Chains A and B, each alone.
Chain A
Amino acid sequence: MSEPATLVTMELMGKEYRVPSGLTILAAMEYAGYKLVRGVGCRGGFCGACPTLYRREGSHRIFTALACQTLVEDGMCLVQIPFVPAPTKPYDLHSITPQSTTLLRFFPEIAGCVACNTCTRSCPQGLPVMDYIQAALRGDIERVAMLSFDCIACGICSSRCPADIKHYAVGLLARRLYGKYLVPPSADLALRVGEIEAGRYDAELRELMELPLADLRARYEQRTFEPAADQNGEYSATRRYNSPMDPVDYQDELEGV
Chain B
Amino acid sequence: MELINGYPASMRESIALVERTRPARLGRTFPAMSLDERKALLLAHHPDYQAHAKRPLRFGPSKGMLLNHELADLFEARPLVRPDLDVSTIDADVDLLVIGGGGAGTVAAIWAVQSGLDPARVLIATKLRHGDSNSTMAQGGIQAADRPEDSPVQHFLDVMGGGHFTNRPDLVRALVSDAPLIIQWHERLGVMYDKDSQGRFVENPGGGTSRNRMHSARDYTGLEIMRVLRDEARNLGIRVIEFSPAIELLCDDWGHVAGAVLLNLETRRYHIVRAAATVLTTGGLGRVHIQRFPTTNHYGATGDGLVLAYRVGAELVDLDAVQYHPTGAAFPAQMAGLLITEKVRGLGAQPLNRLGEQFVFPLEPRDVEAAAFIRECGERGLGIPTPHGICGVWLDAPMVDLLHGPGTIRAALPAMYRMYMRFGIDMTRDPILVFPTLHYQNGGVAADEHGATRVPGLFVAGEVMGGIHGKNRLMGNSLLDFNVFGRRAGIAAAHYARTHRPGRLSLAHVAEYERMLREAGIETTRTAPRILPDYRGKEALERYLDVPV
Contacts and interface: CB of A to CB of B under 8 A. Distances in A.
B348 to A, nearest CB: 7
Contacts of A69: 419, 422
Contact of B181 (A71, A178, A193, A238): A193
A192 B145 contact: yes
Contacts of B544: 33
Interface in B403-447: 403-408, 410-412, 414-415, 418-419, 422, 428
Interface in A78-117: 83, 88, 90-94
Interface stretch (B230-238, B303-311, B471-479, B513-521): B230-238
Nearest to B242: A83
B129 to A, nearest CB: 6
B536 A205 contact: no
A150 B197 contact: no
Count chain A CB atoms within 10 A of each CB in B150, B298, B387 and give the residue with the most. Answer: B298
Given A183-B199, A237-B202, A239-B411, A150 B165 contact: no
B461 to A, nearest CB: 20
Contacts of B198: 184, 187, 235
B535 A27 contact: yes
B334 interface: yes
Given A31-B540, A180-B188, A189-B184, A205 B156 contact: yes
Contacts of A236: 196, 202, 404
B153 A205 contact: yes
B43 to A, nearest CB: 17
A221 B35 contact: yes
Contacts of B26: none
B539 to A, nearest CB: 8
Nearest to A229: B212
Interface in A44-90: 44-47, 49, 69-71, 83, 88, 90
Given A179-B191, A208-B156, A213-B165, A22 B334 contact: yes
Interface in B122-136: 128-129, 131-134, 136
A254 interface: yes
Contact of B197 (A23, A88, A244): A244
Contacts of B539: 31
B210 A225 contact: yes
B503 interface: no
Interface stretch (B169-177, B274-282, B371-379, B481-489): B169-177
B187 A179 contact: yes
Given A33-B536, A93-B235, A223 B418 contact: no
A150 B388 contact: no
Interface string B382-411: 000001110000000000010111111011
A64 to B, nearest CB: 14
A153 interface: yes
A126 B353 CA distance: 34
A172 B339 CA distance: 25
B204 interface: yes
Given A27-B334, A46-B415, A33 B194 contact: no
A221 B177 CA distance: 22
B355 interface: no
A236 B198 CA distance: 12
A90 B235 contact: yes
Contacts of A231: 347, 403-405, 408
Contacts of A36: 299
B419 A188 contact: no
B288 interface: no
B132 A186 contact: no
Contact of B146 (A188, A201, A251): A188
Count chain B CB atoms within 10 A of each CB in A33, A83, A185, A237 and give the residue with the most. Answer: A237
B239 to A, nearest CB: 13
A250 B187 contact: no
B137 A44 contact: yes
B412 A196 contact: no
Nearest to A24: B334
Given A43-B298, A193-B184, A257-B428, A229 B196 contact: no
Interface in B199-238: 199-205, 210-212, 217-218, 220, 222-224, 227-228, 231-232, 234-235, 237
A98 B195 CA distance: 20
Q: What 6 A-B pairs come out closest when comparing CB atoms?
A: A33-B540, A184-B199, A176-B190, A180-B190, A237-B194, A179-B190
Given A46-B415, A179-B190, 15 more contacts: A31-B537, A33-B541, A37-B128, A41-B298, A45-B415, A47-B129, A149-B217, A180-B188, A192-B145, A196-B181, A204-B153, A223-B161, A239-B411, A240-B411, A257-B401
16 contacts: A22-B334, A32-B540, A33-B537, A33-B541, A40-B128, A45-B415, A93-B190, A180-B188, A183-B195, A186-B199, A205-B176, A208-B157, A228-B348, A229-B205, A238-B408, A253-B410
